[in-house]
Amino acid sequence: MRLSPRLMFPFALLAASITWIFTIERLPTLAPLTEEVIEPLPPPQPAMPVIYDFPVTLSLCPKLYVANAPPTDTGLHIIGYTATITVNGVTLARAPVEDGCVSSGFGARNDQVHTGVDLYNRDPVAIYAAADGTIREAEYRDDYGNMMVIDHGNGVFTRYAHMASFSGLQAGETVLSGQIIGVMGNTAGYLVPRHLHYEILTGEWGEQAGSFALAPTDPLALPPID
């Protein structure tokens, strides 16, 4: 059937209107004026370095009077020094620092007993955990400055004093042997040169006295001769 142009006109008009309506509806709508929020990526976490091999030599600090100095060769290297010492079956680093020299040994000093060994460095070098363990104390005291005590099990503990920082660690956290636990400092209620005062302690943790109930051992003591 053929429609005359006159009859087709209303249909053509209707079709054009529908096309126009659809065209209008298809017009792109304006994008909302909200910016996409991009969360900044967290800063990359530095890998926690762990020292697996502590240095096998240790020297006395040159041009310094060193109390209770162990015997050395002419180059001030401690004779018979080994990187570690084993106490009650726990192997501990004797000098758990990035770099340092002995500025004071263990034993009677002035009218007191020096209960550890002092490892000196002019610079704020890293301090390492002497062995795997759990941090029992991490606090400031006027005598020891920022002080950390690590429990290594078997009644063996190590104390680190005058630290500049604890590297974000706190009591209750576990650490690995050779893990950085802080930075060498000179914190105390009195003037003290930058150094690590390092103690090896044995015994039973004190209910009241905490680590001060423990007995100190000389970290530089030579192994017993069989």
Binding site for Zn ion (CB under 5 A): 118, 197
User: H or E element: which one contains 200?
Assistant: strand 195-202
**Looking at beta carbons only, is 189 or 207 nearer to Zn ion?**
189
Question: Which residue of the chain is nearest Zn ion when measured via CB?
Answer: 197
b/e code 119-150 from CB counts within 10 Å (16+ = b)? bbbeebbbbbbbbbbebbbbeeeeebbbbbbb
Q: Which residue has the tokens 């004779």?
A: 79
Whether 72 contacts 35, CB under 8 Å: no
Long-range pairs, 35-38, Cβ under 8 A, ≥24: none
**Looking at beta carbons only, is 194 or 197 nearer to Zn ion?**
197
Rounded CA gap, 169 and 149, in Å?
12
Q: How far is the CB of 61 from Zn ion (least distance, A)?
A: 13
Q: How far is the CB of 154 from Zn ion (least distance, A)?
A: 24
HSE (side-chain half, CA atoms, 13 Å) at 134: 5
**Looking at beta carbons only, is 51 or 102 nearer to Zn ion?**
102
Q: How far is the CB of 131 from Zn ion (least distance, A)?
A: 20
Q: How far is the CB of 104 from Zn ion (least distance, A)?
A: 6
| Neighbour-count burial of 109, counting CB atoms closer than 10 A to its CB (0-12 exposed, 13-18 middle, 19+ buried) | middle
Q: How far is the CB of 166 from Zn ion (least distance, A)?
A: 18
Whether 220 contacts 117, CB under 8 Å: yes
Rounded CA gap, 130 and 175, in Å?
10
Q: How far is CA 35 from CA 29, 32, 39, 41, in A?
A: 17, 9, 12, 18
**Looking at beta carbons only, is 35 or 142 nearer to Zn ion?**
142
Q: How far is the CB of 214 from Zn ion (least distance, A)?
A: 16
Q: How far is the CB of 52 from Zn ion (least distance, A)?
A: 27
**Looking at beta carbons only, is 34 or 112 nearer to Zn ion?**
112
**Looking at beta carbons only, is 118 or 151 nearer to Zn ion?**
118
